[in-house]
Structure 1
Amino acid sequence: MGGLLSTRGIIKPSGKLLAALLALGVGYYLQSTFYFTALLYIPVSMVALILYLYPAFVTAGSLALGWERFSPLVAFALSLALTGLFLVVNPTLGVRVALTGVLLAFAAAVTYTLYILFSSRVLRRISGEDASFYVMGFAGLTFWLSGLAGGKFHFAWGLEVWVWALLIASVSTVLPITTFFQGLKIVGPSKASILSILEPVTSVAVASLLFAEQLSMAQWVGGVLILSGTILAALSRPEGVG
């Protein structure tokens, strides 16, 4: 990313724009921390499905901010998504989950919602590449400060851990953030939400293949309702938030 930007130069934001990029960096830190910590308590597939409530939450946030008008389709979409969440985590349906993990995954979805709503405004003033550069930089700084403050910052890892860490940093962080910002500017939040339906589907499939995770019938139905609700929520909005 730094090499790419060095060939064309990078803008030097100041004032409110710099503060906004800092906020996005901290937001990314919070969202990813909630997400990865949730994985310590509940299965990957469940975390992915709960996180994918965010498109419906984006719609709800747009309504609350007055960026779009309420409609029966929006209400139906949100109802589907919340019903799906109930089926995914409801212990009375034979689903055994740790409440801490569910709350962390839910916090990740809410944080990601705020991240998307805020970034859709910030990207009107800065390119996707420049935004990615600053957001990743501020997020990395926040992780570093958090590690120092918690006394958990160390590098005594084996080679395998370093390889996986580098893959997560490049393939699962730099590339997704950059393409996300570019896609958000090109197609808008609505279509981006629909296209990203592959995320939870892929997560559930890979978790089943690698970790032998199995969802109950109620959870499968809940997952379908969540995905259906998020698609309807995205389709109910005009392109571009606000």
Structure 2
Amino acid sequence: MKAKSVSRLKASLMVLAGASSYGILSTFVKLAYEAGFTPSEVTGSQVTLGAAALWLFSMPLWKRVRDISVRDHLKLLGSGVFTGLTGVFYYYSLTALDASFAVLLLFQFTWMGLMLGWVLHGAAPNRFQVTAVAIVLAGTLLASGLLGGLPKHISLYGIGLGLLSAACYTLFMYFSGRVAVKVPALLRSTWMITGAALIVAVIYPPQFLWNGALGQGLWIWGGLLGLFGMIIPSYLYAKGAPYLETGLTAILGSVELPVVILCSALLLKEKTGMLEWIGIALILAGVMVSQRKAAPGAQAEA
């Protein structure tokens, strides 16, 4: 049974914090690339070190593993696959699209989450959630800088990959709130990130384990990315998402983009124009609107 003490507000704050943690990633990824590491090394070390750390943190709960059914184990591993695929599809989309356009495609998860909850559980979005999605997407358009001009080259291949990344992120948020919710959050996130590590290892063979990259400093970037991209968000989503509808979780996840822009401005000294700041304000306004007149007592389904 889920703890009754977790309020809707507390659950929302957990998801917001998890999404904010994801927002920090792009800054560290850029710094890791500047240090000379490849996308496969960065992505592989992120999920591998993140999974290894989670297994260490969850040691006190190892005795509970035998109480988890094989079916739940497989569900959690399968759910984690969507976490890994989100990053893989998004990184591949960046090879065919401008970053601003790729971000806009990724953020389609805001309405995908609402639609998924509606189709699977008949949870029709209320007018505040629909309004929130419209505001968030408008803010994303402004914050992405696309109003300054459309990309010169629009690749259908890249668009497909960008939308796949959005769909995988939506499914990750959905399963975070639905799969094996009786299992302790730390153990759930450990198994999910293990699933992510497995799928990434298939796509990006972990050559960094033997090519000397870890000794050259990759362990630092992999550790930071594992912390902010695997450990913190997966745990917070596992704790908070079961108390929220999938659509609301998706809207709250949109806070990731403002954090991306703020970190880039503060740590990478990237210039942020007035339209981008207006976009950030709109996204935050959309998050606040989504909290209005929320359906009471939303319960997760196992």
Structure 2 CA distance, aligned partners of 1:46 and 1:213? 18
* Residue of structure 1 aligned with 2:72, choices 11, 17, 33: 17
Q: Which residue of structure 2 aligns with residue 163 of structure 1? A: 220
Q: With structure 1 as the length reference, what TM-score do the two structures score?
A: 0.74
Code of the residue aligned with 1:21 in structure 2: it is L
1:58 equivalenced with 2:118 (yes/no): no
CA-to-aligned-CA distance 1:15-62 (integer Å, 9 cap, x gap): 43222112112111101213344555544x776665455344322322
- State which of 49, 60, 70 in structure 2 corresponds to 1:7: 60
Amino acid at match of 2:64: I
Equivalent in 147, 158, 161 of residue 204 of structure 2: 147
Q: Is the 8 A contact 1:30 1:108 kept in 2?
A: yes
Q: For residue 128 of structure 1, report the CA deviation from its aligned partner.
A: 0.8
Indicate if the aligned counterparts of 2:186 and 2:235 stay in contact, CA closer than 8 A. yes
- How far did 1:164 drift? 0.9
Equivalent residue of 2:172, what SS?
helix
Q: Secondary structure at the match of 1:121?
A: coil
CA distance in 2, matches of 1:81, 1:191: 12
Give 1:132's match in structure 2, choosing from 161, 183, 189: 189
- TM-score, normalised via structure 2 length: 0.62
Contact 2:80–2:192 under 8 Å retained in 1: yes
| Pair 1:28–1:142, CA change in 2 (3 A) | same
| Offset at residue 134 of structure 1 (A) | 1.0
The alignment yields a C-alpha RMSD, in angstroms, of: 3.6
SS at match of 2:207: coil
Mean alpha-carbon deviation: is it higher for 94-103 or for 26-35? 94-103
State the match for 1:30 in structure 2: 85
Deviation for aligned residue 1:173: 1.6
SS in 2 for 1:11: helix
